[in-house]
A and B are shown apart, each in its own frame.
Chain A
Amino acid sequence: NAGVTQTPKFQVLKTGQSMTLQCAQDMNHEYMSWYRQDPGMGLRLIHYSVGAGITDQGEVPNGYNVSRSTTEDFPLRLLSAAPSQTSVYFCASSGRFGYTFGSGTRLTVV
């Protein structure tokens, strides 16, 4: 089925470790974005991309890096994990208005 695929679904990291959350879409959407979801705060935008090679910061970018070398992939890198990055992460892709979300990655930093 067409959609947004996120891996892994669950991850536990130790403080200071780095990792990459993977996101891939097969709908040829130009826009992709990463959000984190924390209780009582809704979803907050981390980074987004308007096309291959073009990225920009969202509301909470500190501690995260992104790149977009292809239309399909938009990985999110945690450079040095901190307990404050414990959250559920969602990737989304869209045309202008048809947003499709991945199933999420639950990340715990201990």
Chain B
Amino acid sequence: AQSVTQLDSQVPVFEEAPVELRCNYSSSVSVYLFWYVQYPNQGLQLLLKYLSGSTLVKGINGFEAEFNKSQTSFHLRKPSVHISDTAEYFCAVNAGGTSYGKLTFGQGTILTVHP
């Protein structure tokens, strides 16, 4: 079985500062990794995903994440945040195989960008 831990429940940051949201996972098999964003009172929007290949994944809105197999991490980064990035961010994992239809989510990180 897989699990996901988001290491920070809340991250406050000032506008135009860099940010890193941390995600660690555990799984006994190869995994596929995702980051989703949820704006207040809305559904989930995919930011980026790692399936295979290059460990540096670029997503929408200037976000990127790096897959680190040895540290079982998939941290999300943005070099300069905007007020509009204020939202909750979820890391998720899928183990593939018979589990293609299932995502395991972390607890979420609330990013608050201050002016």
List chain A positions with a Cβ less than 8 A from chain B: 30-33, 35, 40-45, 48-50, 58, 90, 92, 94, 96-97, 99, 101-104
* Contact residue among B9, B101, B108 (Cβ-Cβ distance under 8 Å from A48): B101
List the A side residues contacting B49 at CB < 8 Å: 97
B108 close to A103 (CB less than 8 A): no
Which residue of B is nearest A58, CB measured? B102
Chain B, residues 18-43, CB within 8 Å of chain A (1/0): the string is: 00000000000000101000000011
Instruction: Output the residue of A40, A42, A50, A58 with the most chain B CB within 10 A.
Output: A42
A44 close to B101 (CB less than 8 A): no
The docked-state distance in angstroms from the alpha carbon of A101 to that of B46 is: 10
List the A side residues contacting B4 at CB < 8 Å: 42
Majority SS at the chain A contact face: strand
Instruction: Output the residue of B44, B94, B104, B106 with the most chain A CB within 10 A.
Output: B44
Which residue of A is nearest B49, CB measured? A97
List the A side residues contacting B105 at CB < 8 Å: 35, 42-44
A97 close to B51 (CB less than 8 A): yes
A101 close to B101 (CB less than 8 A): no
List the A side residues contacting B94 at CB < 8 Å: 97
CB distance from B33 to the nearest CB of A (A): 11
List chain B positions with a Cβ less than 8 A from chain A: 4, 6, 9, 32, 34, 42-44, 46, 49, 51, 90, 92, 94, 96, 98, 100-108
List the A side residues contacting B34 at CB < 8 Å: 99
A101 close to B43 (CB less than 8 A): yes
List the B side residues contacting A96 at CB < 8 Å: 96, 100
B46 close to A103 (CB less than 8 A): no
The docked-state distance in angstroms from the alpha carbon of A104 to that of B108 is: 17
List the B side residues contacting A31 at CB < 8 Å: 100-101
The docked-state distance in angstroms from the alpha carbon of A97 to that of B92 is: 12
* Contact residue among B32, B46, B101, B108 (Cβ-Cβ distance under 8 Å from A40): B108
* Contact residue among B6, B42, B101 (Cβ-Cβ distance under 8 Å from A94): B101
The docked-state distance in angstroms from the alpha carbon of A58 to that of B104 is: 10
Given A31-B101, A45-B102, are A99 and B108 also a contact pair (CB < 8 Å)?
no
